[in-house]
Structure 1
Amino acid sequence: MIAPRKDTPTAPDTEVAEAREALQRVAASEVQAYGAWRSFDSATEAVRAVIGEIGEVVLARSIAVSPQDRDAALLLTISNRHLVALEGLSMDASNADAQDVVAAIAQALDGAKSLRFDIAARTPEMPSSARSWSWQALLEALEAPRENAVAPGIFTDVKALSVAWLEVETGGETGPEAALRALHHMAKARGGFVGQVDQFRQDRPHLALFSMTEQMFAVEVSWQGNLLLAICEASAREDLLAMWRGLVAGT
């Protein structure tokens, strides 16, 4: 006598999807492995990769993230797909929300488009504080920044295309001394006009290019009341304009 067939239980769709993703990660090329340099199309995609790494880690780990051609590294302590501690960021983590963390990561990477991920510790000391940020919250913060926040994508990508930059509101700057002097002079000269003739567009996205020499030009990017000044090589002009057109078309 044949016993009646019993329906075989199946895993929920979410578990199936997670298992499929895990198998895909195992089968991924060696370029994704720890210790290998990974290149990205934009600085924003590099930040997204850091957040993605947080989403990959379940058991507690400390992960070092190193931008290419830089001495400094970002150290992330991760557990159960949550960022629980971070070192190398210029921020007060005790009161930071996900948006603050994403902005600080972008600033720490400073426009880098090539990163290396390394395991710094497999059993890191966990902080006593219960504060943490899930990778989902960080990803949402990256993709949907606060209404009054600086557009991190455009600022970060302009920095990546520049030889020197000055973020006027924060005072952040990078570049050769002579180029930074020129940018500070530009910021001072611009300040005299803002209160007189430029108030009507302070809250509007704004891009301006100024020729300096045949090889160099200056850039002014204004977004939601925040100003970035930069100096770029002439070869970056088309990439910069294409990036700006794509941004304003989506706003």
Structure 2
Amino acid sequence: MSQVDDGFADAIRLFAQDRDGYYGMWHAFKSTQDLLAAIVAEIGETVLARRIAVFGEEQNVRVLLTVSNRHLVDIEGVGPQLEDANGAAVIELLSKALAGCATLKFEIVERSPELLETGRSWSHASLLKALHEESAPDGQRQVLETLRDKLKAMALSWRDFAPVAGQPLSDGNPEDLGLIDRCLTRASENTGKQKLWKPANATLNMLSVADDRVLVLLETPEGNLGVVCRASHRAAIFELWRAFVAATS
């Protein structure tokens, strides 16, 4: 017997549950992230068209969701509407509207509501992706800072375009720094045209600049880093990058 797809298995478990007791009851959450995850899960579990009210007990908030076929079709009670909003913007709106809330209640206020005649909607998958991305940045930034620090520690010369407040921008000899500046400028232009990004929105390139030296370029949205290292550090740099990719993928 072949293994049952996880998504199909989840659907079977969902239909086996009694959902009637779920609505109209207060549910407590440990964090805003858990609270938002519950709302996204509700969208993912709604196939037939429904208008669902979400109440936040502590702040007396009421958000109205129109959901159909696991898509959020409309949202009311979260401030100004964004016609071209993506999943991340919707998650941010919900987060602001429910700020300070730790307890939610869901109620179906209308079954088979008339849906807006618009092509705008947000799938459960896109909202779930945005939710996960929102929870990741702090940890990813820490991993990225560790990578930057380790690269600078083994460098003969380096230039950092996103230094931590109070730390120097560069160190090393003028010749190396001039080379770093030229290469980072060219790399940034190419990246802007190609829009190629690796895990955690970072790319790493290594170029030989002499028999005994290599130039390493780390490109990130926060700011780029260029370092000139001894060629003997190649293997260590590859290991640092592998560890970074594993931690941020």
**TM-score normalised by structure 2 residue count:** 0.51
CA-based RMSD: 3.2
Of 79, 84, 109, the residue aligned with 2:98 is: 109
Residue aligned with 2:119, SS: coil
Mapped partners of 2:119, 2:54: distance in 1: 23
Structure 2 residue aligned with 1:127: 116
Mapped partners of 2:61, 2:101: distance in 1: 12
* 2:80 is equivalent to residue 99 of structure 1: no
Cα drift, residue 18 of structure 1? 1.8
Cα drift, residue 77 of structure 1? 0.1
Tell me if structure 2 keeps the 8 A contact 1:66–1:74. Answer: yes
Structure 1 residue aligned with 2:12: 19
Structure 1 residue aligned with 2:165: 201
Tell me if structure 1 keeps the 8 A contact 2:59–2:101. Answer: no
Q: For residue 120 of structure 2, what is the amino acid of its counterpart?
A: R
Deviations 1:165-209 (A, max 9, x none): xxxxxxxxxxxxxxxxxxxxxxxxxxxxxxxxxx9539xxxxxxx
Cα drift, residue 44 of structure 1? 1.1
Structure 2 residue aligned with 1:73: 62
Cα drift, residue 117 of structure 1? 0.3
Tell me if structure 2 keeps the 8 A contact 1:99–1:146. Answer: no
Cα drift, residue 71 of structure 1? 3.2
Of 44, 53, 56, the residue aligned with 1:64 is: 53
Q: 1:52 to 1:17 in 2, by over 3 A?
A: closer
Deviations 1:40-74 (A, max 9, x none): 11111001101110011100000000001333300
Cα drift, residue 113 of structure 1? 1.0
What is the aligned-residue identity percentage? 34
Cα drift, residue 123 of structure 1? 2.2
Structure 2 residue aligned with 1:144: 133
Identify unmatched segments of 5+ residues in structure 2: 139-162, 167-220, 223-246
Larger Rg: 2
Mapped partners of 1:146, 1:40: distance in 2: 16
Cα drift, residue 146 of structure 1? 9.8
Mapped partners of 2:39, 2:12: distance in 1: 21
Structure 2 residue aligned with 1:193: none
Q: 1:75 to 1:12 in 2, by over 3 A?
A: same
Tell me if structure 2 keeps the 8 A contact 1:84–1:132. Answer: yes
Q: 1:132 to 1:69 in 2, by over 3 A?
A: same
Mapped partners of 2:41, 2:10: distance in 1: 16
Q: For residue 21 of structure 1, what is the amino acid of its counterpart?
A: L
Q: 1:69 to 1:12 in 2, by over 3 A?
A: closer
Mapped partners of 1:66, 1:74: distance in 2: 6
Tell me if structure 2 keeps the 8 A contact 1:62–1:120. Answer: yes
Tell me if structure 1 keeps the 8 A contact 2:58–2:100. Answer: no
Q: 1:130 to 1:41 in 2, by over 3 A?
A: same
Structure 2 residue aligned with 1:89: 78
Identify unmatched segments of 5+ residues in structure 1: 1-8, 152-198, 203-223, 226-249
Cα drift, residue 22 of structure 1? 2.5
**TM-score normalised by structure 1 residue count:** 0.51
